[in-house]
């Protein structure tokens, strides 16, 4: 049974750092990070979410002491280009498209079967939404985000209707929700949580020496928090519209960076001592 709380009820990962680290029980945390709202603040348009130099340095230093993966709803190539580091793992399209150092490349969720439906849906949405000012159809390899952050309130219903037209005719796709977006994804039982567990296994981290730790801010990160209950640590950044399966929280992207910097020092000390 998954335990859920209100975000505000969760203890701060920074205030309760010693308690949180005691949960490592001598294991090294393997770090899984969402991108938008976690490594960069939420902004008006996807292309404006630029990683700061400070965050890139924090990530780079963390990769020197443990395994690090970015697990994003974004297109995997897009998030690779934004992060600009080659010594970590990337799971794009909500975990359907995974790459890593040494030429690692895998699509463990089997999303290729939905590719032609996604292509068709993309065309329909582009056509239907071209008259809705502020809407944006963002195609990822294995998902489509339909953004309404910049759409007038009385036009959001028109965006939802266009999405529903696609859903009604394409059983290969299902809807997902996020911050001011509707997502069309392959109708497959695969999500960020399964991608995290797949990476743990694939990277040989299920050997009793590593503990998965996931940080994210959105509804799609809840699948990872739920998967990690009892076997890892989930940290929610800020809040979203629902209850959360995370066990700690951080307030902001700046707090995420401070937490990651502290983790790097902690892991270094663990391996020296």
Position 181 contacts ligand L263DTV3 (CB under 6 A): yes
Cross-strand bridge partners of residue 237: 250
We find the least distance from the C-beta atom of residue 188 to ligand L263DTV3, in angstroms, to be 16
CB 91 within 8 A of CB 76: yes
Would you say 73 or 238 has its CB closer to ligand L263DTV3?
A: 73
Task: Select 50 or 113, whichever has its Cβ closest to ligand L263DTV3.
Answer: 50
Q: Does 74 bind ligand L263DTV3 (CB under 6 A)?
A: yes
Number of residues engaging ligand L263DTV3 in binding (CB under 6 A): 24
Phi/psi for 25 (5° steps) reads 50, 45
DSSP 50: P
Helix (H, G, I), strand (E, B), or coil: what is residue 13?
A: coil
Task: Based on the shown chain and the rule CB under 6 A, indicate whether residue 73 belongs to the binding site for ligand L263DTV3.
Answer: yes
Q: Does 134 bind ligand L263DTV3 (CB under 6 A)?
A: no
Q: Which is closer to ligand L263DTV3, CB of 138 or CB of 205? A: 138
Binds ligand L263DTV3 by CB under 6 A, chosen from 28, 72, 135, 244 = 72
**Is residue 218 part of the contact set for ligand L263DTV3 (CB under 6 A)?**
yes
Among residues 175, 172, 192, the alpha carbon closest in space to that of 232 is found at 192
Q: Is 220 in the site for ligand L263DTV3 (CB under 6 A)?
A: yes
CA distances from 244 to 4, 9, 98, 147 (A): 5, 10, 25, 23
Name the minimum Å distance from CB 270 to ligand L263DTV3: 29
Min dist. Cβ of residue 183 to ligand L263DTV3 (A): 6
The angle subtended at Cα 229 by Cα 231 and Cα 94, nearest 5°, is: 100
Catalytic residue among 34, 97, 217, 218: 34
Residue 51 DSSP class: P
The C-alpha R_g of the chain, in whole angstroms, comes to 19
Contact 78, 140 (CB under 8 A): yes
Q: Is the Cβ–Cβ distance between 73 and 36 less than 8 Å?
A: yes
- Is residue 37 close enough to count as binding ligand L263DTV3 by CB under 6 A? yes
Helices 156-169 and 115-129: angle between axes, nearest 10 degrees: 150
Residue 194 touches ligand L263DTV3, criterion: CB under 6 A: no
State whether residue 216 is helix, strand or coil: strand
Per rule CB under 6 A, is residue 29 in the interface with ligand L263DTV3?
no
Cβ at position 132, least distance to ligand L263DTV3 in Å:
15
Active site residue 34: yes
Q: Where are the alpha helices (DSSP H) in the chain?
A: 17-22, 53-63, 76-83, 115-129, 156-169, 192-202, 222-228, 253-272
> In terms of CB distance, is 45 or 209 closer to ligand L263DTV3?
45
43 near ligand L263DTV3 (CB under 6 A)? yes
Interface with ligand L263DTV3 by CB under 6 A: which residues?
A: 34-37, 42-46, 49, 72-74, 138, 145, 147, 149, 178-181, 183, 218, 220
Catalytic residues: 34
């Amino acid at each position: 049974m998954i335990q859920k709380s209100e975000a505000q009820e969760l203890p701060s990962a920074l205030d309760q750092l010693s308690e949180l680290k005691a949960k490592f029980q001598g294991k090294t945390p393997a770090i899984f990070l969402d991108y938008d709202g976690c490594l960069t603040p939420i902004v008006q348009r996807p292309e404006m979410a630029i990683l700061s130099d400070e965050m890139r340095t924090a990530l780079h230093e963390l990769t020197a002491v443990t395994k690090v993966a970015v697990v994003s709803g974004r297109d995997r190539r897009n998030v690779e280009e934004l992060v600009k580091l080659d010594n970590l793992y990337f799971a794009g399209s909500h975990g359907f498209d995974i790459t890593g150092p040494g030429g690692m490349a895998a699509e463990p969720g089997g999303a290729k079967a939905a590719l032609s439906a996604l292509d068709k849906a993309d065309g329909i949405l582009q056509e239907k939404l071209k008259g809705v000012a502020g809407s944006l159809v963002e195609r990822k390899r294995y998902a489509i985000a339909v953004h309404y952050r910049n759409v007038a309130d009385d036009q959001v219903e028109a965006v939802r209707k266009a999405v529903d037209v696609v859903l009604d005719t394409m059983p290969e796709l299902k809807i997902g929700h996020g911050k001011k977006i509707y997502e069309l994804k392959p109708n497959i039982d695969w999500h960020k949580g399964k991608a995290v567990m797949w990476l743990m296994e694939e990277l040989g981290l299920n050997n009793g020496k590593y503990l998965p730790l996931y940080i994210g801010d959105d509804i799609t990160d809840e699948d990872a928090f739920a998967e990690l209950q009892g076997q890892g640590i989930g940290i929610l950044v800020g809040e979203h519209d629902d209850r959360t399966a995370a066990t700690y929280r951080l307030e902001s992207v700046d707090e995420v960076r401070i937490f990651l910097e502290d983790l790097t020092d902690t892991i270094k000390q663990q391996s020296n001592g």
